[in-house]
Amino acid sequence: MIPCPCARCCNFKKFSVKIIRGHLYEKGFSLGYIDWIWHGAKASCRSSAGSTMPPPCSENIEQNIEENFATSQVGDICEATYNNRGNLGDDCDKDSEEFKRFLADAEQPLFEGSDSSKLDSMLKLHNWKARFGISDSAFTDLLSSVGSLLPKDHVLPSNAYTAKKTLSDLGLEYIKIHACPNECILYRGVNSDFVECPKCHISHWKLGKDGKVRVNIPAKVMCQDGQMHHPSDSPSWRNVDYKWPEFGNEPRNLRLAMAADGINSHKNGMNNRYSCWPVVLTTYNLPPWLCMKRKFLMLTILVSGPQEPGNNIDVFLQPLIDDLKKLWKEGEPDVYDAHIKSSFTLRAILMWTIYDFPAYGNLSSCVNKGYMCCPICGNDTVFTSYQENVFSRPSSIFT
């Protein structure tokens, strides 16, 4: 049983290696875990920049690790946060007021004589709140109760709003976007000043029990927290790990997606009937902001000609299919890993295909026109005839 370094447990819980491996596949590594002090590394030892691979785990963890946690890890979290933002082109550096404030919070004890700092205590409480899904009102009540038990000179925030505001610059903030209750539009950009939805005419603001509009209280808010941020969060990704554990246990194996569609490469208008079909592979093992970068896209097939291949595209896909079968069954031996300076057998799996509906019919060799236009439903496709669909509408559609 060792501490689990996933983004959910954050080393607060201990599990077996098998369970931890599943947590890491599902949640990923804790981004704030810079020095692997819970797994044998010394507090002064820092992993190489940009590396997500932990050093070898030690069975005998030093006794003074827990004492050094508050001073080493919390300070490194602040430094890593502002260094990463600087790499992204923002104006955050060690001389900024925010960074100085975070260093002061990391060094300020929770109360006189306390071994825990203010920032360390807030991070642990926020991690507990997120892990168990505690509401803001319950978290405020907890902070108030804990504060009443601490000495009078404590610096613990008194409510959830103050705690969130203090940690907002650490990357825990999120943006709220107002939305139509019927999901017609988002109130942003040119729609930000609308008082009602232009499509369904429902009020932008919430209606009280008395039927009156509560101005400045949105009827619906969109937040990204808790949603799927990467294909690794999907059930398909975890299903591969469950069905083929030998493949899933090797994190360097590739998870691929294939995209195909026809384009007009000559840019001289829609009148040109020339069609070019590229087939592109992308690797989803990368972070979201790198998956779709040009240097990580692999142009595997380029079908050029005056006419599109149509249903005969399977003829051109044969070399790619053969290579994918080989990468899945046998793999590519003696692939050199420059990070650990050793060779391994690389395998790959094609998990998703991306195309529009007409290309869907060509690539699946199924009919996607007429009465049975759904390749999934087939004979059970629910359809409406063109004559019934058109002449049952108001005459205004012809104007």
Work out whether strand 342-346 and strand 213-218 pair parallel, antiparallel, or are unpaired: unpaired
Mean pLDDT score of the chain, rounded to an integer?
76
Domain boundaries, the chain: 62-170, 175-223, 243-359, 366-399
Give pLDDT, residue 169.
58
Give pLDDT, residue 85.
42
* Rounded Cα distance, 260 and 301, in Å: 9
Dump pLDDT digits (tens) for 225-275.
Answer: 556 677 887 888 888 888 898 998 898 999 999 998 887 766 655 555 677
User: Which of the 8 DSSP states describes residue 31?
Assistant: T
Give the pTM: 0.42
Task: Count helices and strands (H / E) in the chain.
Answer: 12, 12
Angle at 61 between CA 102 and CA 52, to 5 degrees: 55
Dump pLDDT digits (tens) for 52-64.
Answer: 334 334 333 334 3
The answer, yes or no, to whether residue 48 has pLDDT greater than 70, is no
Return the half-sphere exposure (C-beta side, CA atoms, 13 A cut-off) of residue 153: 6
Give pLDDT, residue 327.
93
Q: What is the mean pLDDT of residues 353-380?
A: 79
* Rounded Cα distance, 289 and 370, in Å: 39
Measured in degrees and rounded to the nearest 5, phi and psi for residue 157 equal -60, 150
Give pLDDT, residue 72.
44
User: Which of the 8 DSSP states describes residue 255?
Assistant: E
Q: What is the mean pLDDT of residues 186-190?
A: 86
Dump pLDDT digits (tens) for 93-103.
Answer: 444 566 667 67
